[in-house]
Structure 1
Amino acid sequence: MKNKFKSKSLRLRYWNYQNSAVYFVTICTKNKVHYFGEIVQEKIHYSPIGSICYVLWNEMQHRNKHIILGDFVIMPNHIHAILILLSDNIENNNHLGTNRFQNIGKNSLSSIIGGYKSSVSRYAHKLNFEFQWQSNFYEHIVRNEYSLEKISQYILENPTKWSKKYNNDL
């Protein structure tokens, strides 16, 4: 039973997540609990934890020169965002991602999202709010302008689709 509790990485093995790229990221709450607020008439109404998420997401760009934030939306139980990672790394692409730990370093996508999740959790717990993240996050490497436009549209329309699917309040 070696590595019994080791979760399989969701990251592409041959991609270096420290290099410049555009990512579509989804971060979920544990068990899809609605910690962040509710959708009413196609708009998110933040809970205190949702407000913390919003503020800390926007602060990321000011704290890290390697990040540009694109469109994002905080939904009741998840966040969708476009994050542009800028890197000073100029590497030989012949051995990208062959080392599993290569994608964990400073200014990697994983370290940035991990830092964000940790900050939100810390603030929520300081204020005595019950809160937990899902242990991982999902990402999609945006490879062209068309894909970026479709993803941006999906992000911006997410509250409306949620409202139609779950609330029937239209």
Structure 2
Amino acid sequence: MQLPQRKATRLKGYDYSSPGVYFITICTQNRKCMLSDLVVGEGLAPPETRLSEIGRIAEEQILALEERFPSVSIDRYVVMPNHIHILLLLREQAGGASPSPTVPQVIGTFKSITTRLNRAYGAEGLVFQRSFHDHVVRGEADYREIWDYIDSNPARWQEDRFYTD
């Protein structure tokens, strides 16, 4: 029996410790809606995101990345019911500092700590899928488009193929 080949999720030959901006998408295990609920606003009001306990811990750990990794900035993020989008800036380390972390190291740390904290609070099983999706942001127009995409993501939730009411 031949097992299916896992598709490479990283840009071949790219140095993910390079300074730059990265658009990251992290999905929950089996795309289970466990991070938040989106409550439809009245009239033209955008949906309100209500984080679950797991989602609250995930948000805290997103924000803690800047403290853990001095060369990392979180420019924008959104915690959706079954995924998280992050616009992550990786800066060059100040002279003499230890080497910059790679994007996979930063995201791996986030996922590991978030899962460990959730288990400490009684959650069972995996929180996130094994890997994550990334896009190396190429220029100002790309950056603005991704920023807008993250901002409008809650309003488009009902169009998501994993949306459930």
The TM-score with structure 2 as length reference comes to 0.83
Q: How does 1:158-169 map to 2 (within 5 A)?
A: 158-163=153-158, 166=163
Amino acid at match of 1:152: W
Structure 1: which 5+ runs fail to align? 90-104
SS of residue in 2 equivalent to 1:17: coil
Is 1:11 aligned to residue 1 of structure 2? no
Give, in whole Å, the separation in 1 of the partners of 2:103 and 2:6. Answer: 18
SS of residue in 1 equivalent to 2:153: helix
Is 1:108 aligned to residue 102 of structure 2? yes
SS of residue in 2 equivalent to 1:9: coil
Give, in whole Å, the separation in 2 of the partners of 1:154 and 1:43. Answer: 16
CA apart distance, 1:167:
7.4
Partner of 2:36: 37
Give, in whole Å, the separation in 2 of the partners of 1:88 and 1:54. Answer: 25
Give, in whole Å, the separation in 1 of the partners of 2:139 and 2:48. Answer: 29
Which of residues 42, 47, 52 in structure 1 aligns to 2:52?
A: 47
The TM-score with structure 1 as length reference comes to 0.81
Give, in whole Å, the separation in 2 of the partners of 1:141 and 1:12. Answer: 8
Instruction: State the number of aligned residues.
Output: 153
Structure 1 stretch displaced more, 126-135 or 45-54: 126-135
Give, in whole Å, the separation in 2 of the partners of 1:159 and 1:43. Answer: 8
The structure that is helix-richer by fraction is 1
Give, in whole Å, the separation in 2 of the partners of 1:60 and 1:47. Answer: 20
Amino acid at match of 2:24: V
Identity within the alignment, %: 31
Partner of 1:102: none
**CA separation of 1:162 and 1:143: change in aligned 2, threshold 3 A:** same
Moved over 6 A (4+): none
CA apart distance, 1:8:
3.8
Give, in whole Å, the separation in 2 of the partners of 1:5 and 1:65. Answer: 39
Partner of 1:127: 121
Contact 1:43 1:160 in 2 (8 A): no
Which of residues 142, 145, 152 in structure 2 aligns to 1:150?
A: 145
Q: Deviations over 1:99-128 (max 9, x none)?
A: xxxxxx960000000000001000000111
